[in-house]
Amino acid sequence: MSDEPQGPFGTPHPHNRLIFRILNAEADMTAPFVRGRLVADIGCGGQPGRAFVEGHGGKYVGFDHPEAGERGVRPEVVGVAEALPFRTSVIDTVLLTTVLEHVPRPHAVMQEIARVLKPGGTLILTAPQFWHLHEEPRDYFRFTRFGLALLADEAGLEVMVIKPLGNFWTTFMQELAYWMQERAFRSLPMRAFRRATVEAAQWCGLKLSKINDGGRYSWLHLMIARKPPVMP
C-alpha cells in the first residue's frame, strides 16, 4: 500500500492507511450532501476537510476546543462543542468526523449541531464502534449505528444514511497494525518485522474489506442526517 494523498476525512499514515483508504473512498458518496455555502468542521484537527469543502464551492470554517492549539491546530473558531459559538440556523453543513467519542456530553453536541444548522442543512458524521484507547484521557465513548440514530433522532435530525465502514477483518487487521506500530522494538531486524507486519495486515484487511458481515464488527460508521426544513 503506497503513500496516498490526504483525503477529506484524514491523512493516511503507514500504520493506518487501511481505514483511511476505506473512509476517504466515501468522499464521492458524501460530496452531494455538502450543501450550501457555509461548512463548519467541528473538531477540525489538521483540517483535512478544507480542500474537499472548498473544492466543492463551500466556505470552510474550522472549529476546535481551546486545547487544540497545543497540538499545533489553528482553527478559525475556538470553543466547546456543547456550546457552539454560532448563531442559530446559520450553518449549511456540519462535518463531525471521529470527534463524538471525545466529547463528554454527545447528546448536548448533537443538540447544538441541530440548533446551528439551517433548516434543510446536513450533518456528515463518522464515529467509531471499535477503536483502541486514543487521545487519552479525552476518550469517552463508542457508538453502534443504533446509538447514532438515537442521538440524531433525539436532536430532531432525520437520518438519511448510516453506513458501516469495514468488517471484522478490516477491524482486526487495522487494530493489529496499530498494536504492532506501538511496539518499541530495539533491534533493526525486529523493527523491519514490525514494518512488514503493519504493511501485511493492512494489505490483507483491504483485500477482505468487501466481505459483508452486516456491520456487526465495523470499525467506524458514517452517518448523514438532515435538519428538517421546518423543525417540529
**pLDDT over 70 percentage in the chain:** 94
C-alpha dihedral (20, 23, 28, 30), degrees to nearest 10: -140
Least confident piece of the model among 2-6, 150-154, 156-160: 2-6
Kindly tell me if the per-residue pLDDT of 232 is higher than 60.
no
CA distance 79 to 92: 19
| Band of residue 132 on the pLDDT scale cut at 50, 70, 90 | very high
Q: How confident is the model over 93-112, as pLDDT tens digits?
A: 999 999 999 999 999 999 99
The per-residue pLDDT for 4 is 53
Mean pLDDT of 199-227: 92
Read off the pLDDT of each residue in 135-145 and give the average, rounded to a whole number.
95
Span 13-68, pLDDT tens digits:
788 888 888 888 888 888 888 878 899 999 998 888 898 888 888 899 999 988 77
* Average pLDDT for 145-162: 97
| pTM score, whole prediction | 0.90
Whether the pLDDT of residue 8 is over 80: the answer is no
Q: Which of 62, 57, 7 is nearest to 32 (CA)?
A: 57
CATH superfamily, region 17-167+214-226: Vaccinia Virus protein VP39 (3.40.50.150)
Is the pLDDT at 184 greater than 50, yes or no? Answer: yes
Query: What average pLDDT score do residues 165-192 get?
Result: 93
* Residue spans per domain, the chain: 17-167+214-226
In angstroms, the CA 177 to CA 21 distance is 14
Interval 70-80: pLDDT, tens:
566 788 999 99
Which strands sit side by side in the sheet containing 220-226, from one edge to the other?
77-78, 59-64, 38-42, 91-97, 117-128, 220-226, 158-165
Summary mean pLDDT of the chain: 90
Identify the band that residue 2 occupies on the pLDDT scale cut at 50, 70 and 90: very low
Distances (CA, A) of 120 to 32, 113, 114: 13, 13, 10
Q: Say yes or no to pLDDT of 212 above 80.
A: yes
pLDDT band at 159 (very low <50, low <70, confident <90, very high): very high
Give which of 117, 89, 90, 112 is closest to 100, Cα–Cα.
112
For residues 162-171, give the mean pLDDT.
94
The pLDDT, as a whole number, for residue 82 is 96
* Distance of alpha carbon 201 from alpha carbon 209, whole angstroms: 12
**Helices and strands: H and E segment counts in the chain:** 7, 7
Distance CA 43, CA 114 (A): 16
Distance CA 146, CA 148 (A): 5
